[in-house]
Structure 1
Amino acid sequence: MHSDQEAEDFVANADLSEYDLSGFKPMHFELEPKSASLNMRLPAALLDAIKARAKARGIPYTRYVRMLLESDVVRRRHS
């Protein structure tokens, strides 16, 4: 498929009942290139907790922190 619309049309019109989709998990795709960086100091306990949460989700901790920042910014835009 060449576009999101093609994929959405396929899913909307397809009979997916023959497939076991119970193991699927939501996925966040990072398509935008990273052109800036952030360097910050944190208490070791906070960094350890962040790393543990990221590991539980199966993602790198830097991506987890970026997701937290993105979700806060998006939430504030809509409030």
Structure 2
Amino acid sequence: MSGAWRIGDGERNDGLPMPVAPGERQTVKDEDAKIIIEAGLLPRFRQGASDSGLKAAVDSLVREVSAMVTQEAA
């Protein structure tokens, strides 16, 4: 699916599709996504701990989205 949607780098087959609610206008910025991937996901994947890498990435995404929702509500 990621390849068909041209998400991430086609040669590395990386990319994470993230469905959002219809009408949503904000997304996680590329630079924030890069930090999440490079600081939380990749180091753990390289150590063979993909489960904790995914958890770290999801936790970071939840923090980012929560911050956006809080800013939007203010």
TM interval, shorter chain, is 0.3 to 0.5
Q: Which has the higher contact order (CA 8 A, sep 6+)?
A: 2
Structure showing greater Rg = 1
TM normalised by structure 1 equals 0.31
